[in-house]
Amino acid sequence: MGNRTKALVNPAVLVWARTSAGYDLATAAVKLALDEERLAAWETGNDQATIAQLRKLAELYKRPLAVLYLPEPPMTFQPMHDFRRLPEFGLRHFSPTLTLAIRRAHQHRELALEMLAEAGETAPSFSLRTTLDADVEQVGAMIRQALDVDYSLQSSWRHPRVAFLAWRSRIEALGVLVFQAASIEREEASGFAYWAEKLPFMTVNRKDAYTRRTFSLLHELVHLMLQQSGVSDLDLEAPRLQRDAQIEVFCNQVAAAALMPREHFLSEAVVAEKGAGHHKWSDETIQVLANIYCVSREAVVRRLLTFNRTSKDFYQQKRMQYSAEFREQLVAQKAKNAGKPIPRNMPRETISNLGRPLVRLVLKNYHQDRLSLSDVSGYLGVKTRHLPGIEKQLGFS
């Protein structure tokens, strides 16, 4: 009889749970194997779900069952602005996967703030600021100074993963939580940022190549400097609302300036010897520059276009070429791995997704007896057997 017992819940809470999870009525009904009319009846109060059906709703919406019994819909975080390209009709919709990634990032920030407060510590204030009318090259230089990155250091990294980790750790040192999301599709978003004076955060798409993730780090950092929260992609060519386009172009330009400073870029021997003009560049030369700054080939060609070292036509040609090559690489990689189990290193994956500062903070509170082993496992989203490996990677004895 328990499976047939009706769940006495506020229909408005069911509407909130679905919409805050990023589902429209039709999609949710399909996921639940229900008629859309039946789900609508639950949400209008014309019918009631059973307790067993309510559990399925909670599982789909990624909410504890108890939340669905709240008397009123809770106040959740402010929805993020959508800076991404416009689709053919209207603004884009946040998928349930993206919505969940945003929600979890907010939860991790709240967790960090709570743990700092319980320990009697205060999060540092994020003090970097800029405005849309600022000179992009000067803002890029300011970022490099704040992150203590000079040409000698940057050119020593050489490998995209090393560069990504280095930029990330320096941004985290400013008091920013940097997360990675592994489930968001590349086509949906490159990342998102949430501004707050204390512990702002950013999330970059882990499915992107390291060079693109590094560019996203700097792009989202500029969003924080503008005190703008929102979801981004990096496509400068895509149509957007006018104000959004202005912000996204500025963020991309500053990110490029921070990664490839004008003075150093134009002084590179292969660039300086050609001077200004609509030049064509070999893939070998472009790759040399990409290796120096640990950026993508497209970012290099875009920078050459910015400084009048190539033409718009050449940039578009290379952009299409590199995009096609990347798609071919993905297809080949998928075929190569077809049917093979993908090994996972959970300690490394956990630190990669949540960032060293947050994981360290959780473990620190555990070692000071403020958290139980079960708490740590739940907060980090891993089984307890992986915790010794995480501690080892972070230097806990």
Please write the tens of the pLDDT for every residue from 153-170. 999 998 999 999 999 999
**Which whole number is the average pLDDT over 219-240?**
85
**Which whole number is the average pLDDT over 195-200?**
95
Domain 2-76 has CATH 3.30.420.10: no
Provide the residue type at 237 as one letter: E
The pLDDT of residue 3 is above 60: no
CA separation for the pair 164, 150 (Å, rounded): 15
pLDDT at 238: 66
Range list of H helices, the chain: 11-20, 25-32, 36-44, 51-61, 96-118, 136-147, 151-157, 160-172, 210-225, 242-259, 262-267, 269-272, 283-293, 297-306, 312-337, 346-354, 356-367, 373-380, 387-393
Instruction: Give the position of tokens 């995480």.
Output: 390
pLDDT at 197: 94
**Which whole number is the average pLDDT over 130-149?**
97
- Answer with the residue of higher pLDDT: 51 or 204: 204
The domains of the chain are located at: 2-76, 98-333, 343-393
Among 113-122, 142-151, 317-326, 387-396, the range of highest mean pLDDT: 142-151
CA separation for the pair 191, 205 (Å, rounded): 6
What's the burial of 342, exposed, middle or buried (CB within 10 Å: 0-12/13-18/19+)? exposed
Per-residue model confidence as pLDDT tens digits over 313-334: 999 999 999 999 988 988 888 8
pLDDT at 71: 84
**Which whole number is the average pLDDT over 323-346?**
84
Lowest mean pLDDT among 152-166, 235-249, 279-293: 235-249
CB count in 10 Å sphere of residue 110: 12
The candidate with the shortest Cα–Cα distance to 176, out of 202, 146, 151, is: 202
Of the pLDDT bands very low, low, confident and very high (cuts 50, 70, 90), residue 105 is very high
The pLDDT of residue 236 is above 70: no
Residue 391 phi, psi dihedral angles, 5° rounding: -60, -40
Lowest mean pLDDT among 209-213, 243-247, 350-354: 243-247
What's the pTM value of the predicted model, to 2 decimals? 0.86
Of the pLDDT bands very low, low, confident and very high (cuts 50, 70, 90), residue 228 is very high
The pLDDT of residue 203 is above 80: yes
The pLDDT of residue 89 is above 50: no
pLDDT at 334: 82
Kindly state the DSSP code that residue 179 receives in the 8-state scheme. Answer: E
What's the burial of 195, exposed, middle or buried (CB within 10 Å: 0-12/13-18/19+)? middle
**Average pLDDT score over the chain:** 90
